[in-house]
Structure 1
Amino acid sequence: MDLNLYQYLLLGVLGIAAGIVNMMAGGGSNLILPVLMMFGVPADIANGSNRVGVLLQSVSGLSGFRKAGKLPTEDLTAILWPTLIGGLCGALVASFAPVAVLKPMLLITMLSVAAFTFFKPSALVHQPGVLPVKVADNPKSRIALWLVGLYGGFVQAGAGFVMLPVLAGMLRYDLVRANALKVFCTLGFTLVSLAIFIWRGQVWWDIGLVLAVGSIIGAKIGVKTAISLKPETLRWILFVMTLVAVLMALWK
């Protein structure tokens, strides 16, 4: 099927919005997936095509965080590998199963994150001087990172919300650096999952590339905004965007 010019323009604008919110908190895919399905794009194609924009916004955002000196590098490999393996498992399941079966899990997960950010702010916004914890020193974090990758590989929507409590809560990174690591991990499992969706013929490149252009622009704006905001402000943005994402998931 072919979209018209206005639909492509709307997707470009949504790509910008998704890039901005994904660099600060998450939930960008919750803006895009319902609209794609409203346009008549099958759920599996929407899920696969959306990954093109996520991939390129992650490259753009990661570059911005790295240039600003906000990307921690000392434990990157240990953080990345569990999410890659989880992403591969999740993408394989998603390529053979309807995305609709995940809706209850999506809602429960995001509501849990909203409650976590509201009732346990100290887990996300730490006092000055708190040092990060290495994955090797917290074995449970490996399982949590694998589950994050599994979820992200299955459906991108809400993956950032799930990842931040692990990176900021369990591994004790401040929210800006946790966001940078989140983008790094997202790039990793998106590469894996996109390869699966391409192999399965579940990517429409016209949609994916339009989303990608908007997402790259949005990511550049989002990184600059995230770096300049206070941690407490970022926490509230995460809380509000989580609730918005829940409403979008209910709507779709």
Structure 2
Amino acid sequence: MTELQTYGIAIIGALIAGGINTLAGNGSAITLTILTEILGLPPNVANGTNRIGVFTQCAATSWVFHKNGKLNITRNKKYIVPIFIGAIAGGLLAINVSNEQFKAVFKFMMVFMLIAVLVKPKRWLRETDLEFRPKWYIYIPLLFALGFYGGFIQMGMGVFFLIIMVLGMRLNIIESNALKGFVIGLYTLLLIGLFHYQGMIDWKLGGIMALGQTAGGYLTARFASKNKKADQIAYYVLITVLVFAIIKLFLR
């Protein structure tokens, strides 16, 4: 396989991952696999390099969702701070500790997430509950832990985010996806600086992957912002992502 063909596969895979990340999550399972298995990066460098495409994709989707009235930062700002702080703590740990051991239990977490998504599906198709006020002593530690996970290993972060925001904070799934992109993009920008400082980013390969991820995220966000059935589509994409991820994790 030529270098051009390798990069072509990487961009196409990243484009698909960008679309999956925008509507559901776990697209990093694709990009991390490409970075390690096809492009040959060590796992810790792949973890850092992957953040470039995550940031550019999140920036593109946030702009589209904001432009189309799906991103409400003011109403959800109380959720952003604990996630951001947790992500920085997780990123600092990721710089010094390998996340390979964590992957041993990741597949069981994915099964739990699939069960949470399938139980009472109507909860995933409702509008944002504007009257709901979660207790601070519940959502602050919960979202800190969520951010910590995202900072430590990005893979699966989007799915966890949707479960907590839709089921726990009672946000609409599309609004949750819009907020997800903004928050992840926010802390990822800082994490890129941390990973770069430690020499754990390949900017050339990260830039190539970012082309696909950004395009995939942008196009999917436009679709999700304007399609009346976007809630249902996002829900079914989420189920599909989880099922395929579980099959892959248990069969390998």
Question: 1:26 offset after TM fit, Å?
Answer: 0.8
Question: 1:138 offset after TM fit, Å?
Answer: 4.5
1:121 is matched with 121
2:129 is matched with 130
1:13 is matched with 12
In the alignment, the residues of structure 2 paired with residue 232 and residue 185 of structure 1 have an alpha-carbon distance, to the nearest angstrom, of 23
What is the aligned counterpart of 2:153 among 126, 149, 155?
155
2:97 is matched with 97
Runs of 5+ in structure 2 lacking a partner?
Answer: none
2:138 is matched with 140
State the one-letter code of the partner of 1:43: P
Mapped contact 1:158–1:245 kept (Cα < 8 A) = no
1:188 is matched with 186
In the alignment, the residues of structure 1 paired with residue 162 and residue 12 of structure 2 have an alpha-carbon distance, to the nearest angstrom, of 25
1:24 is matched with 23
Moved more, 56-65 or 140-149: 140-149
2:111 is matched with 111
Cα offsets for 1:143-192 (capped at 9, x unmatched): 12111111111111110000001111111111110110111111122123
In the alignment, the residues of structure 2 paired with residue 207 and residue 64 of structure 1 have an alpha-carbon distance, to the nearest angstrom, of 26
In the alignment, the residues of structure 2 paired with residue 192 and residue 176 of structure 1 have an alpha-carbon distance, to the nearest angstrom, of 25
Identical counterparts, % of pairs:
26
1:208 is matched with 206
1:72 is matched with 72
Question: 1:104 offset after TM fit, Å?
Answer: 2.6
1:42 is matched with 42
Moved more, 239-248 or 93-102: 239-248
Cα offsets for 1:77-120 (capped at 9, x unmatched): 31111111111111111111122111034222222111101113
**TM-score normalised by L of structure 2:** 0.91
Q: Aligned residue pairs: how many?
A: 248
**TM-score normalised by L of structure 1:** 0.91
Residues 129, 183 of structure 1: CA spacing in aligned structure 2 closer, same or farther, 3 A cutoff? Answer: closer
Runs of 5+ in structure 1 lacking a partner?
Answer: none
In the alignment, the residues of structure 2 paired with residue 216 and residue 170 of structure 1 have an alpha-carbon distance, to the nearest angstrom, of 29
Moved more, 100-109 or 142-151: 100-109
Mapped contact 2:44–2:98 kept (Cα < 8 A) = yes
Question: 1:220 offset after TM fit, Å?
Answer: 1.3
State the one-letter code of the partner of 1:54: V
Q: CA RMSD in A?
A: 1.9
The answer on 1:54 being equivalent to 2:32 is: no
